Amino acid sequence: MTTWRILLDDGYHELNPLILAGWTVHPLVVAAYFGGFGLCVWGITRRSGWLATAVATYVVLTIGVFGGLNNLALFAFGPPSLLDLVADTLGLAASTLILSVIPLCGLAVALGVAQVYQGPIF
C-alpha cells in the first residue's frame, strides 16, 4: 500500500524503475505487476519445502523490509529515503541497488533460511 501512496503523491518518487515504468503506462500495470507477483508467490508457497521457505523469506525481506520500511520511513521523516541514503553511501544509483544488490542479498538470505529450516537444499 505504501507504493501506491508514493506513486500518487507528487512530493515523493518511486525508486524502482520497473514500477515507475508501469505507472507511466497505466496504474493497472502496477496493479497487475503486484497481483501477478502475489499469485506466483501464493502458488509456490502452498506446498511445504525448501522452495516455499525460500520464496516466502525472499518476499518478506525484499518487499516487506526493504520496500515497506523504506516507504514508511519516507512518510515519517521525509526525503531522502533510506534506500537513497544506502545507495549514496555505497556510491551506487538507487535503481542499481533496487534491481541488483537487494535481490542478491534477498536470495542469499532466502537460501540460508531454507537451508536452516529444511536441511540441505543442494
Per residue in 57-72, pLDDT tens?
A: 888 888 877 887 887 8
Amino acid found at 36: G
Per residue in 75-91, pLDDT tens?
A: 788 788 888 899 999 99
Q: Give the three-class secondary structure for 84.
A: helix
Identify the pLDDT of residue 39. 87
Do the beta carbons of residue 121 and residue 50 sit within 8 Å? Answer: yes
**Residue where the block lists cell 497487475:** 32
- Which structural domain range is residue 8 located in? 2-118
**pTM passes above 0.75:** no
How many domains, the chain?
1
Per residue in 86-120, pLDDT tens?
A: 999 999 998 888 888 889 999 999 999 999 988 88
Residue 8 CA, distance from chain mean position: 19
